[in-house]
């Protein structure tokens, strides 16, 4: 015998289902975008919306453009720099040797 629950399968506040009950949908445009890996994505936009020049590819995350033959370049990621790499940008080899000589002189007690 059934449990007698009359609203089984629906939730509180659920509205009517289907397109007819929701009204007309806005006119839409499907625009193709291509990334540098050759992936195509076709998001839909309202017909009166401003279409962006680039769109992020949902498959690889690279920027995608409207031209299939000329997609935007992928972003260039800089590799992680160590502390030593930053020091080398600020100091020359001669500066480094002078600082090292000064530190060694302090350790030896010459200064």
User: Is there a binding annotation on residue 35?
Assistant: yes
User: Is there a binding annotation on residue 83?
Assistant: no
SS (H, E, C) the chain: CCCCCCCCCCCCCCCCCCHHHHCCCCCEEECCEEECCCCEECCEEECCCCCCCEEECCCCCCEEECCCCCCCCCCCCCCCCCHHHHHHHHCCHHHHHHHHHHHHHHHHCCC
User: Is there a binding annotation on residue 57?
Assistant: yes
User: Is there a binding annotation on residue 94?
Assistant: no
Going by the annotation, the residues of the binding site are 35, 39, 57, 60
Going by the annotation, the residues of the binding site for Zn(2+) are 35, 39, 57, 60
């Amino acid at each position: 015998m059934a449990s007698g629950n009359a609203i089984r399968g629906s939730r509180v506040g659920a509205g009517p289902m289907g397109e007819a009950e929701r009204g007309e949908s806005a006119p839409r445009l499907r625009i193709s975008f291509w990334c540098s890996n050759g992936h195509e994505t076709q998001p839909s936009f309202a017909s009166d919306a401003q279409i962006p020049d680039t769109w992020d590819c949902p498959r690889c995350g690279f920027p995608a453009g409207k031209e299939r033959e000329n997609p935007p370049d992928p972003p260039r990621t800089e590799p992680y720099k160590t502390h030593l790499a930053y020091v080398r940008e600020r100091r020359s080899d001669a500066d480094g040797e002078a600082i090292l000589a000064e530190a060694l002189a302090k350790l030896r007690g010459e200064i």
